[in-house]
Structure 1
Amino acid sequence: MAFCSSFLSLKLPFIKLFLLLATVRGGVGQSYTSVFSFGDSLADTGNTFFINKSCQCLFPPYGETYFQHPTGRCSDGLLVIDFIAESLGLPFLQPYLGINNRSNATSIQEGVNFAVVGATALDVAFFEERGIYNVATNYSLRVQLDWFKQILPSLCNTSSKCNDMFERSVFVMGEIGGNDYNYPFFLLRSIQEIRTFVPLVIQAIASAIKELIDLGAVTLMVPGNLPIGCSAAYLTYYETADKEEYDSETGCLTWLNKFSEYHNDQLQKELTRIQALHPRTNIIYADYYNAAMRFYRSPTQFGFIGGTHTACCGGGGPYNYNASAECGSNPLVRACDDPSQYVSWDGMHLTEAAYRLIAEAIIPQNVTAGYSYYYTSK
């Protein structure tokens, strides 16, 4: 959820597992031939390159693990959306703005990514009305949805073709909403005020989902928010000597994680309501929060011997995060030798290793390994 100056549950009792990958590899039912992604820096695969040339994610050492060069992804390598596409046998998603800026764009039939670093669910006017002026971009969820509508004629030109495409597509709605809270939290606005944003953020996400359903979408994945109380940036901004503020098991800030849980709980309730109105639609809740909490609770079990809260790439401090010396924005800021040993890449975003574990947790083929975080409220 980078700002380019950054990062950014409770299960309902009647949720059942939706075997998405089984339909692809097990030969059961429908196969998926495309993925369309919306969101922020947790999902952006390069749109920021065409928006903000100074974004830190466009400079080394970003991308060093997988691509060996920056790609606009705010990590050392792949993101969850990359692993989702890979698991479906599809190529990495092309950024929408990259397609528009290439005269000989390759096929978009297998998917397009509309996510933008720093994006919010709500429009920038909402924040400005409340005196919050640090919002880095106005490429909100509404703008991203409009982009999808603009490209739709290039994807299908008849009702039957569009229906077939939609039936064989997975729409990944986020992660989105984290920056709606990050911007005011990093201005140290009160949690009481920020809690009032949650229903509006959920409403914006729900509105986009319903609009896609009206267009014909059949399968939608909606990720929840990560545990922000565990991020190096939040731990730095809200560092306190009061030990009661921290979870004794994980070292995370309890009150911030409860906020993430509140957002996720409200999101799931809304998804359940939408699902009841659209029984022929598969609405999937991807539980990023609990998938991530596994390695905050047991880091060495997952190979994170470098720590869960210390950033691999940062400018110093207790958590190796310094807003004045961020990874990529200062050539003197170096990355650790082995990012795979760290959960946090730059204090705001996770490493490829952490994203891989989240992806494995939400992909149903791994249910047999004991992971069960990929749900539909159907």
Structure 2
Amino acid sequence: MKILVFFLLCCLSSKSVLSSPGRYEAIFNFGNSLSDTGNFLLSGALAFPGIKNLPYGETFFHHPTGRCSNGRLMIDFIAEVFGLPFLPPYLAVAKGPPVRTGVNFAVVGATALDPSFFYAQKIGPLLWTNDSLSVQLGWFKNLKKSLCTTKQECDDYFKKSLFLVGEMGGNDYIFPFIFGLSVKQLRAWVPQVVGAIARAIRILIEEGAVDMVVPGQFPVGCSAVFLTLLHSPNKSAYDPSGCLKAYNAFFEYHDNYLKQELQKLREEYSHARIMYADYYGASIPLYRTPKHYGFYGGALRACCGGGGPYNYNNSASCGNPGSTACEDPSAFVDWDGIHLTEAAYHFVSKRLFYGGFTSPPLLS
């Protein structure tokens, strides 16, 4: 009997380690609109003024915060799981006292490649920000000076920190696709985009990072923006869920290339724990059977928008005059045409934590 009780206590202890908060003492996040908690808003948000207005932020915060959703993002749910406060945007704390629990460097519209690349391709004017991944890394290095002084102190601190690099790269493709470039043309860019992400990982590891999460892409071919602006008269262009097959296949191609590079980095830095977060795999069930998961408003039509078959209108996008929001965002997957609702982000986050869509597992 004593042996049985001991065995049960061991099992319970193991389970508590898997799900208990507090494993990390800080989180540092790099990315774009999928995880920005206010940097773009603090920079003026000139290219996307609607983010300053309700209904952005209406569900959880009850006011706009700079998050591209009606409420919390995945980075917020990750912080909650580990018992940490929501990450403040870097531009809000850069000149203040050090924030020991982590900082968010993500910026809406950010690209993995530097803006100079896109200006050379005549696409630069479409960009929403110049705060690319390399700029965000520079912010981190500036912040690091206030967090630790010696190498040993930095190593000890960052060993207890979680670094998220992305999702990055989506904007490197989305802006050019909308500009009119083809899948074939952009496939040639994938090595450069993934290369920029890999360089960022190397830099962060050299700076002391040990535990890192590197996400892949969402199935952007299911977004209301792509379905509206890149629609095809050819029915064969769509899968049974109504998503654009060629674009989803492209983003899967990026993910596969990224996974190969991450494996090389694991071999190069055997002491680091580099985790791949499969955003595509974790979210695709929402587009195939949304009602099965309680999203009765569907997955392809945006909750907030200015009308049209997918409720996306470029001249009346969410937060701007002419747009309206659905009564129950939790019934919708798509929030504003390209970003998800809080409910959808929560769904994906849970699958990353508990559904086996982070490799190796984030909770272990």
By how many angstroms is 1:376 displaced? 2.8
Q: What's 1:341 paired with?
A: 331
Query: Hey, what's the Cα distance between the residues in 2 that align with 1:190 and 1:286?
Result: 27
| Per-residue CA distance 1:180-221 (angstroms, 9 max, x = gap) | 001101111122111111110000000000011111110000
Distance 2:323 2:229 in 1: 19
* Deviation >6 Å, runs of 4+: none
Q: What is the CA deviation profile of residues 264-295 of structure 1, one whole-angstrom value per residue up to 9, with x for unaligned ones?
A: 00000000010011111100000000111011
1:165 aligns with 2:157: yes
Query: Aligned partner of 1:234: which letter?
Result: F
| Larger RCO, structure (CA 8 Å, separation 6 or more) | 1
CA distance in 2, matches of 1:66, 1:271: 35
Give the helix-richer structure, 1 or 2.
Answer: 2
Instruction: Answer yes or no: is 1:246 the counterpart of 2:238.
Output: yes
Question: Are the counterparts in 2 of residues 229 and 252 from structure 1 also a CA contact under 8 Å?
Answer: yes
1:90 paired residue among 84, 89, 95: 84
Amino acid at match of 1:352: E
| Backbone CA RMSD of aligned residues | 1.7
Which of residues 283, 289, 295 in structure 1 aligns to 2:274? 283
| TM-score between both structures, scaled by the size of structure 1 | 0.88
User: Letter of the aligned partner of 1:184 in structure 2?
Assistant: P
Q: 1:1-378 to 2 correspondence within 5 Å?
A: 25=19, 31-54=23-46, 55-100=49-94, 103=96, 105=97, 108-132=99-123, 133-248=125-240, 250-330=241-321, 332-363=322-353, 366=354, 371-376=355-360
* CA distance in structure 2 between the aligned counterparts of 1:111 and 1:340, rounded to whole angstroms: 29
The answer (yes or no) to whether the contact 1:24–1:31 under 8 Å persists in 2 is no
Unaligned runs of 5+ residues in structure 1 are 1-20
Deviation at 1:23, TM superposition (A): 5.1
- Do the aligned partners of 1:24 and 1:88 also contact (CA within 8 Å) in 2? no
Q: Aligned partners of 1:264 and 1:234: how far apart in 2? A: 19
Q: Which stretch of structure 1 is more off in the superposition, 187-196 or 41-50?
A: 187-196
Number of corresponding residues: 345
- Relative distance call for 1:100 and 1:61 in structure 2 (3 A) is same
**Paired residues of 1:236 and 1:321 also in contact (CA < 8 A):** yes
The alignment-based identity, stated in percent, is 49
Separation in 1, partners of 2:325, 2:350: 25
Kept in 2: contact 1:24–1:32 (CA 8 A)? no
Letter aligned with residue 334 of structure 1: T
Counterpart of 2:359 in 1: which secondary structure? strand
Change (3 A) 1:53 1:246: closer
Deviation track 1:295-336 (CA, whole Å, cap 9, x = no partner) reads: 111111111110100000000111000111100122x31110
| CA shift digits 1:11-49 (9 cap, x unpaired) | xxxxxxxxxx9657559xx92100000000001000012
SS at match of 1:82: helix
Separation (CA, whole Å) in 1 of partners of 2:361 and 2:287 = 26
For the 8 Å contact 1:37–1:174, the answer to whether it is kept is yes
Judge conservation of contact 1:271–1:377 (CA < 8 Å) in 2.
Answer: no
- Distance verdict in 2 for CA 1:346–1:26, change over 3 Å: closer
Contact 1:275/1:377 (CA < 8 Å) preserved in 2?
Answer: no
CA distance in 1, matches of 2:17, 2:319: 40
1:356 and 1:152 mapped to 2: Cα distance? Answer: 30
* Residues 120-156 of structure 1, C-alpha deviations (whole Å, 9 max, x = no match): 0001110111111311211000000000000101111
Q: Match of 2:316, SS?
A: coil
Residues 258 and 32 of structure 1, relative CA distance in 2, 3 Å threshold:
same
Where does the alignment leave 5 or more consecutive residues of structure 2 unmatched?
A: 1-14
SS at match of 1:186: helix
Distance (whole Å) between structure 2 residues aligned to residue 24 and residue 36 of structure 1: 21
